[in-house]
Amino acid sequence: TDSGNNLYRVVLIGETGVGKSTLTSIFAGLQNNLENWGVLGEDTYERTITVDGEGATLVVMDTWENKDEDNWKQNHCMLIGDAYLIVYSITDRASFEKASELRIQLRRTRQAEDIPIILVGNKCDLVRCREVSVAEGRSCAVVFDCKFIETSAAVQHNVQELFEGIVRQVRLRRDSK
Ligand code: GDP
Ligand code: MG
């Protein structure tokens, strides 16, 4: 990806059912018009947003679910992202544990790189079904060495902040080079 054009490939990974596709589509609908969107493929979208006064084009890839039997696509996902959103559901502890597996897999695949990652605890509207506390999410992110945010795609809480946040994480690394 050409960082000179502020084009960032953002890949969502996480257990099935945690809300990756819903988060992606909410982000896609924020401007209520699709003119700024280019559909690049079945699950890949491009949109330009302004963050802190500077434009950034996000290529958002919600391709994780389409598994090939040989896992080719998942390995590909691990290789192509400029940044990752590791998503779990706060109502599903197994998905939280899966997030740790994915973090380890990502670290193995991209060993020498300092990849921007946000750990995303989605479905925070479902307070009565919560299985993973905010404190657990936060301390997991410390271990992961990444940012943490809780979101709700259902009530559109922190979704825009999430995508702005990942742009800021990419820029922090860019600007420190
Ligand atoms: P994916 O498999 O990770 O892409 O998950 P989906 O986006 O398909 O979402 C799985 C289910 O969870 C769907 O029924 C969504 O409507 C629901 N869902 C997604 N995000 C939220 C959320 O923030 N809150 C609630 N209550 N439901 C959600
Ligand atoms: Mg999906």
ipTM summary value = 0.99
Structure-token pair, residue 64: 């994780």
120 lines ligand 1 (CB under 6 A): no
Nearest ligand, measured from the Cα of 87: 1
Please count the other Cβ atoms lying within 10 Å of the Cβ belonging to residue 33. Answer: 8
- Of 60, 145, 138, residue with least CA distance to 96: 138
* Whether 23 contacts 153, CB under 8 Å: yes
Nearest ligand, measured from the Cα of 16: 1
Look at residue 47 and give its three-state secondary structure.
strand
Average pLDDT, the chain: 89
- The residues facing 122 across adjacent strands are 89
Cα(40) to ligand 1 centroid in Å equals: 23
Amino acid 67: pLDDT:
59
17 lines ligand 1 (CB under 6 A): yes
Q: Where are the alpha helices (DSSP H) in the chain?
A: 20-29, 72-80, 93-109, 134-144, 159-175
Mean pLDDT is lowest, of 1-5, 32-36, 143-147, 159-163, for: 32-36
Q: Is the pLDDT of residue 2 over 90?
A: no
Please give the C-alpha separations between residue 18 and each of 35, 65, 107, 132, in angstroms, as whole numbers.
28, 11, 22, 13
* Whether 109 contacts 79, CB under 8 Å: yes
103 lines ligand 1 (CB under 6 A): no
Structure-token pair, residue 29: 């609908």
Sheet holding 44-51, edge to edge: 38-41, 44-51, 54-61, 7-14, 83-89, 117-122, 147-150
157 lines ligand 1 (CB under 6 A): no
What's the pTM? 0.91
Amino acid 38: pLDDT:
52
User: Each residue of 102-145: pLDDT tens digit?
Assistant: 999 999 999 889 999 999 999 999 999 999 999 999 999 999 99
